Each structure stands twice: as C-alpha cells, then as structure tokens.
Structure 1
Amino acid sequence: MKAKTVKANWSLRTKKFSLPSVFLLCIFFFLAGFFGFSFFHHSQEDEYGVRVRLLEKSVKDETEHRLLHAGKSGDNFITSIPFQVLSWNPRALYFPNFASAEQCDRIIEMAKAELSPSRLMLREGETEEGTKGIRTSSGMFISASEDKTGLLEVIDEKIARAAKIPKTHGGAYNILRYKVGQKYNSHYDAFNPAEYGPQESQRVASFLLYLTDVPEGGETMFPFENGSNMDSSYNFEDCIGLKIKPLKGDGLLFYSLFPNGTIDPTSLHGSCPVIKGEKWVATKWIREQLHYDV
C-alpha cells in the first residue's frame, strides 16, 4: 500500500514538469549563468581600463567651468592642453598636436639659413676634438623677441602653460636639424656642478617641439627610464629604453631636476640616429632663474 502511494506521488510530481516547463527552466539557468559571468568579467577588469574610462568621462562631461577671480598676472579663461604622461621616472609628458603643420614649417624656414654644427658644453679637461661624434646635428638659436612674426611668442605662451612655469624662465629656441645618420648620444640637460662647475641658472625642464615626421629612427630616448640600464654596461650610444617617435607638431616635456633641485638621474636622454628622412626639432630649456636667454 505504501509503495503504491509513493509511486502515485512520484507520478504526480513528474507530471508537473512538462516539456515547456523544462524548456523554461533551461532558459532561466542559461541566462543566470550568462549574466553572472558578465558581472564577474567586468568586476575583474583591470585598473588601467577603469581609469581610462573615468578620465574619458570627465573630459566629455566637463563642458562648463566656474571661473574664479584671477590675480593681476592670471587669466580670466580656462586653458585646455591635452597631454599624456609617458613616464614618472623621468617625468615626461607628451602633447599631441601642440603646434600646427603651418607653424612648424614657418619655424623651419626661420632657421634654415642660419644653421651651423651643433656644439657641446665641455667638462673640465674635455676638448672639441675629443668629443666629436657625440652630437652631430646642425642648429641655431632664436628667441621670441627676435621673431618679428610673433609666432614664437605664441609658442612661448603655450609652453609656459604646459610646463606651469612662467615664460620668463625660458631661454631661446635651439632649432636643430638631424640628417640621415646624425644623432646625439645620451646626456643630461642639467649640468652637474661637480663636472661643469657652479651654475648661474640650472636647466629645470626641456620642451621639444617636433617640426617634422621622421619615417624611421630619430626617436628621443630615455635609457634609464624607471631605473633600467643604470649600470656600467651602458655606453651612452645605445638607443634603448623609453623611445618617443617624432611626429610633426607634437611636443615632449621632461623635467631634469627633482622638486628639491637635484638632478634626476633617469632624465638622461638622447636622440637616436635618423635612418630615413630628416628630423627637425625646436628645443626650449626652462631655467630656474628669470630672463635667462641661452
């Protein structure tokens, strides 16, 4: 009698799960698994992707600004200059489309007739003959005050805002041309007083404005980026480490000094040999003292 009862109950239960019911249950579990996986996948998304989305959101959503009352030397407008942090060691920032193609062409035309072989600042005991081959470009110097067109004054103003250092700390532009095979071995823009003697005004930062595309070679390189290659095996000629490809109109800002005024050892940099094309670049050194021209 009990067996019949059990059999009857089991038969009753199986009747409740008809084919449509089983089909719906399958769909339910499939959807639950799918959404569960999606949730888990997004929750595991790396921090870099999340940060990029947040930054993009802040740029798109920030359409209005509340202006404060500026001081006598301040601005009554918001300045937006896009940039990318390439490295914190050294502190290197990349500015895409910093200048227009027309502006770059005009700067090259200013410099063409005045080029001469680039020179080096010599350490005690060094000679020009003994340092040949370290820097093989040609160049010239021109300040914004010498440019009657006003173009360099405009670039000066933009560099000051990018670097957050007044333009009165910037020197003249060193306009440089690198032909195929020409390069500049790794060096520091700041001068170590122990090697070069006391400095009246130290170079705090450098801004490079690339005036041409370079099809191959000519990268600006930082071989000690993030502490790499900082041993006696590096010979100052190898083109290794962080490398920035020159693109016409783009800018590169890097700092040679720490905030405490000491030289950042990872700011060692050079210009890789040009393999194809020709490299033109306008370099501005930003110094710690006011109104220092070169």
Structure 2
Amino acid sequence: MEKIRQISSELRDWIIHTLNNGVSPVAIADAMIKKGFDPKFAYESLFKIVGNESIKTIETTQNQYTYEIPEIGKKGNLIYTSDQEVKVLSRVDKPFILHLDHVLSEDECDELIQLSKNRLQPSRIVDPTTGEEKVTPGRTSKGMYFTLKENQLITKIENRISELTNTPVENGEGLQVLNYDIGEEYKQHFDFFPANKVDPTKGGQRVGTMLIYLNEVIAGGETVFPKAGVSIVPKKGSAVYFHYGNSENQVDRMSVHSSVPVSKGEKWVATKWIRQGRIY
C-alpha cells in the first residue's frame, strides 16, 4: 500500500493542539506512521510544525462544517430567563460566538469563588491520543468540578444556562471553576472531543461551551479565538458562549481558542460544557 505523503489542514491543527497539550513530537509522528503515513514525511512535517515553519496542506471539502444557528442565537439582543435579563454585547456567526453581559450577579460570582477555593486541584486535559486525563504544561490553571445540582446556587446557575441555551440541564457536564494566577494560561485547544473518544453512552460529543467570568482581571486573561480574530476581555458576571457542533455530527475547527496568560492579578472563570444528549 502506498504511504501517505500529504496532510490536511484539520490534521495540522490537531497536531498543533496536541503539541500544546504536552504530547511529544515523536509520539505524534509514530501515531501518524501507524496510520499509514510515510515515516520520513511524518517526521519532517512534525519538525516544520515545531519550528513554526509553513507546511503545505490539502483541503478536505467533505469535512467542511455546516453552520446552523443554535437556539440561543435566535433570541435577539436581550435574553430573558425566569430570573435574569442577559444582554448580548457582540456576536460572531462563523464560528458562532456570543459575548453576554450579566449572566451572573456579582454576589453569585463571589459565592461561587468562595465555594471553590478549598477544592482546587491542578487542571488536567484529555490526552487526544490515549483519552486519559493528565496535567500538561499547556494548561497551568487550577480547577474543580461541582456535581450536578450540588447545592442551591449551582442548581440556580445550571437552570439559568439551560434556559439561555434551550438545552436540558442533564445535557450539561458538572460546572467547572478555574483559577489562573500570574503567568498561567491555557494554550490553543478545542473543547470538543477527538472523534474516536466520543462516548454516546455519556451524552456524546460536546457541542457548546458557556464560559463565565467571575472577577475583574487587572491585566491579561483574555479569551482569544485566533481564526475569528476575536478577543474577549474578562468582565465580572459576563460570559462568552460558543457553539461548535451541528445536527450532522460535525465539529467546527474555527472554534479553536486559548486563554492568554494573566499578567497582573488573577482570573476566575466557571465553565459549563454542553453535550449532544443526556449525560446523567
């Protein structure tokens, strides 16, 4: 069988994402070789990517993402839940990104931070090769998870996010709180899972993320979507919602994003990942 000697833009993005999560270039090259790539081509491609050199890619039209407007995007510039009025500050359709104000009150932000402080652990990522959770240099924050409906505040926040997005509470993962100190960051990554790591018995693929800012960051800490040219500055109680899964089971690679290192102060955020179906 003839060995593969060309690389798609999607594979290139995956390689960059995997490198940022701490996987060694040799391990990635070996995985490519096992998939049928020419060994010399695999290693040369990795060396170029590691060295930030340009690399020729082929475009795969069969993987082109079909954009669909999620329910939250059909609600106008003022979105009302049973207990909150949320304002849309800005909107991007490709990838779908909404910058929202007043998702949480200041008191709710403060209480969420206090409930989280004593439960923080070094943040982990899901290794795209093995599927195992591990600590990597690409993600240097500390974090913790609440269980679904763990207490009155968590239940209230989960219900609000459910109303905003028109998705059942049971489709959401447990609310995660993250704390970034000076210099801490999360390099470019996707929130969706690699196709071979999607478990249909546990809600399937992630399709959307609600990222809520819990404090004012003095400097740094922006959420950046490089392919869209979008940078969101943290503001207490505001949030960014981005949607990257459609009804055709495709995922949007334009949704790649990062958290810029905090340069002064600290950063607190809460994250709710939403799946295709029920998790619990």
TM-score range, shorter chain: 0.5 to 0.7
Q: Is structure 2 residue 246 aligned with structure 1 residue 258?
A: yes
| CA distance, structure 2, for counterparts of residue 174 and residue 78 of structure 1 | 22
Give the deviation of 1:125 after TM superposition: 5.6
- 1:172 counterpart SS class: coil
- 2:162 counterpart SS class: helix
1:140 aligned to 140, 144, 149, which one? 144
Which residue type is aligned with residue 146 of structure 1? E
Query: Any idea what the Cα deviations from partners look like across 1:151-202, whole Å, max 9, x if unmatched?
Result: 11111111112112122211101100000000001111111215x4656421
Query: Any idea what the Cα deviations from partners look like across 1:193-236, whole Å, max 9, x if unmatched?
Result: 15x465642111010111011111101111111xxxxxxxxxxx
The two structures have a TM-score, normalised by structure 2, of: 0.65
- 1:83 counterpart SS class: strand
CA gap 1:210/1:113 in 2 versus in 1, 3 angstroms:
same
Per the alignment, residue 184 of structure 2 pairs with 182
Which residue type is aligned with residue 208 of structure 2? A
CA contact (8 A) 2:126 2:133 kept: no
Higher fraction of helix: 1
Which residue type is aligned with residue 136 of structure 1? T
Per the alignment, residue 210 of structure 1 pairs with 213
| CA distance, structure 2, for counterparts of residue 272 and residue 135 of structure 1 | 11
Which residue type is aligned with residue 170 of structure 1? G
- 1:171 counterpart SS class: coil
Which structure 2 residues correspond to residues 62-211 of structure 1 after superposition, within 5 A? 80-124=85-129, 132-147=136-151, 150-194=152-196, 196=197, 200=201, 201-211=204-214
| CA distance, structure 2, for counterparts of residue 79 and residue 178 of structure 1 | 28
CA contact (8 A) 1:163 1:253 kept: no
Give the paired residue count.
201
Q: Is structure 2 residue 250 aligned with structure 1 residue 247?
A: no
Give the deviation of 1:106 after TM superposition: 0.4
- 2:248 counterpart SS class: coil
CA gap 1:79/1:217 in 2 versus in 1, 3 angstroms:
closer
| CA distance, structure 2, for counterparts of residue 78 and residue 172 of structure 1 | 21
- 1:282 counterpart SS class: strand
Per the alignment, residue 225 of structure 2 pairs with 222
5+ residue gaps, structure 2: 1-75
The alignment yields a C-alpha RMSD, in angstroms, of 2.6
CA contact (8 A) 2:184 2:261 kept: yes
Q: Percent sequence identity over matched residues? A: 34
Which residue type is aligned with residue 174 of structure 1? Q
| CA distance, structure 1, for counterparts of residue 227 and residue 269 of structure 2 | 22
Which residue type is aligned with residue 192 of structure 1? P
Query: Any idea what the Cα deviations from partners look like across 1:70-89, whole Å, max 9, x if unmatched?
Result: xxxxx9x8985322342111
- 2:224 counterpart SS class: strand
Which residue type is aligned with residue 134 of structure 1? G
Per the alignment, residue 257 of structure 2 pairs with 269
Which residue type is aligned with residue 252 of structure 1? V
CA contact (8 A) 1:115 1:138 kept: yes
Query: Any idea what the Cα deviations from partners look like across 1:33-70, whole Å, max 9, x if unmatched?
Result: xxxxxxxxxxxxxxxxxxxxxxxxx989xxxxxxxxxx
Give the deviation of 1:103 after TM superposition: 0.6
Give the deviation of 1:249 after TM superposition: 0.5
5+ residue gaps, structure 1: 1-57, 61-74, 226-240
| CA distance, structure 1, for counterparts of residue 122 and residue 128 of structure 2 | 19
| CA distance, structure 2, for counterparts of residue 78 and residue 185 of structure 1 | 35
Which residue type is aligned with residue 145 of structure 2? F
Give the deviation of 1:127 after TM superposition: 8.3
Q: Is structure 2 residue 271 aligned with structure 1 residue 283?
A: yes
